[in-house]
Structure 1
Amino acid sequence: MTAEMIAPEWMRRQITGEQYDSWTEEQCAGIEILDGMVVVSPSPSRCHNRLARFLANALDEAGGTEWNADNDFDVRLQDVPLNNRRPDVVVYRVDAIDVAPTRPEHVLLLVEVVSPGSETTDRVVKLDQYAKAGIPFYWRVEQAAGRVPIVHTYLLDEATGTYRAGELFTGLVKAAVPYPVEVDLTGPA
């Protein structure tokens, strides 16, 4: 079996932002770009998607007229080499709704819901990558079958370019930053 049979040619070479931007939404779904290389993400579970949507809805409502919250779209962290991530929830400035690609300066908070197979990426790699991109807040949601989700919050330390741990919420999130939001996670799954 040859490499061509395993993966198409476009998955075996670095791509540019211009090339990526020419792809259809269908081609971009389920992938991220890390150092110019396509990284395929497994399809998340329904519980994962529901939890992400539940959080996005609560953050969107609490964001008022200044902040939107959505899921399932790209954030362009870096142009060369290309780094595009597709966080589970993105809180971004209302006035950037039509700006594409969404960039770190448009983003206030990124949320990742950890799934089997994304543990190291969400806990270590994205934590570092989002901090280096200057995203002010990062939330990591841990979920386990039959358990209440746990939300780990992080705040950017601009002096070091790293995150420091913030509050930890189990079940009920009652956060004051990045803006006041209350959401009960004991029932969305």
Structure 2
Amino acid sequence: MTTEMVAPAWMHSQITAEQYDSWSEEQCAGIEIVDGMVVVSPSGSKRHNRLARLARLARLLANALDAASGPDWNADTDFDVRLRDVPLTNRRPDVVVYRADTIDSTPTRPEHVLLVVEVVSPGSETTDRIVKVEQYARAGIPFYWRIEQAANGIPLVYTCVLDPASASYRDGEVFTGVVRAAAPFQVDVDLRSS
């Protein structure tokens, strides 16, 4: 006798913005919605320590961006940005800098967002380097940063700036370990301590 695993119905059909908005925070944790389909981001046990370090890295950067951004902007981690309603596309960047006056607006929309940061983790390389870059650019988010780990363990931060005419990002500065960025505002943070 064999046992078959039965996947929930929501894994086989597109969900709407209204359906997603009715789910609890717990149901939305660890997922993104791409073209209406749920994409689960599991954390494998062998990778747990590395993923925990990457989460600390995102928090350290979010804190530095929040302190540097002034009263008009907030920086935080772990919440959805609604890129599109139909088909529903929600992404959950590792760090989001958003307008402070939209703190109670749900969902967070691209026009509320100044910068998104993705920390590349094992298994997210193609998504973070190609797919999300295109989605964030099409949505009009002005800045995209990607953090990767060099072979020596020191974080590399790749910055990109939106070219509105082409709706694509231009490569900006690359920082090794210490971020000393002038745009979108002055920020100085040592990521080697994460």
TM-score range, shorter chain: over 0.9
> Partner residue of 1:147?
153
Distance in structure 2 (CA, Å) of the matches to 1:159 and 1:2: 54
Distance in structure 1 (CA, Å) of the matches to 2:102 and 2:144: 19
Q: Structure 1 residue 146: deviation in Å?
A: 4.2
Distance in structure 1 (CA, Å) of the matches to 2:85 and 2:3: 31
Structure 1 runs (4+) greater than 6 angstroms displaced: none
Q: What secondary structure, in the 3-state scheme, does the structure 2 residue paired with 1:165 have? A: strand
> Partner residue of 1:28?
28
Structure 1 segment 123-162 matched on structure 2, within 5 A:
123-144=129-150, 146-162=152-168
> Partner residue of 2:70?
64
> Partner residue of 1:98?
104
Distance in structure 2 (CA, Å) of the matches to 1:168 and 1:133: 23
Q: What secondary structure, in the 3-state scheme, does the structure 1 residue paired with 2:108 have? A: coil
Residues 150 and 156 of structure 2 are in contact (CA less than 8 Å); yes or no, is this contact kept in structure 1? no
Q: How many residues align?
A: 187
TM-score by length of 1: 0.95
> Partner residue of 2:56?
50
> Partner residue of 1:17?
17
Q: Structure 1 residue 185: deviation in Å?
A: 1.0
Q: Structure 1 residue 6: deviation in Å?
A: 3.8
Q: What secondary structure, in the 3-state scheme, does the structure 1 residue paired with 2:193 have? A: coil
**Cα shift readout 1:127-152 (whole Å, capped 9, x = no counterpart):** 10000000000000002564210000
1:186 paired to 2:192: yes
Aligned residue type for 1:120: T
Distance in structure 2 (CA, Å) of the matches to 1:20 and 1:120: 25
**Cα shift readout 1:96-116 (whole Å, capped 9, x = no counterpart):** 100000000000000000000
Distance in structure 2 (CA, Å) of the matches to 1:38 and 1:2: 24
Q: Could you tell me which runs of 5 or more consecutive residues in structure 1 were left unpaired when the two chains were aligned.
A: none
Distance in structure 2 (CA, Å) of the matches to 1:117 and 1:95: 35
Q: Using a 3 Å threshold, how does the CA distance of structure 1 residues 2 and 163 change in structure 2: closer, same or farther?
A: farther
Distance in structure 1 (CA, Å) of the matches to 2:68 and 2:7: 43
Distance in structure 1 (CA, Å) of the matches to 2:55 and 2:192: 15
Residues 143 and 160 of structure 2 are in contact (CA less than 8 Å); yes or no, is this contact kept in structure 1? yes
Q: What secondary structure, in the 3-state scheme, does the structure 2 residue paired with 1:177 have? A: coil
Residues 145 and 158 of structure 2 are in contact (CA less than 8 Å); yes or no, is this contact kept in structure 1? yes
Aligned residue type for 1:47: R
TM-score by length of 2: 0.93
Distance in structure 1 (CA, Å) of the matches to 2:158 and 2:18: 35
Pairwise CA RMSD: 1.4
> Which stretch shows the higher mean deviation, 152-161 or 35-44?
35-44
> Partner residue of 2:80?
74
Distance in structure 2 (CA, Å) of the matches to 1:2 and 1:73: 36
Q: What secondary structure, in the 3-state scheme, does the structure 2 residue paired with 1:80 have? A: coil
Structure 1 segment 98-117 matched on structure 2, within 5 A:
98-117=104-123
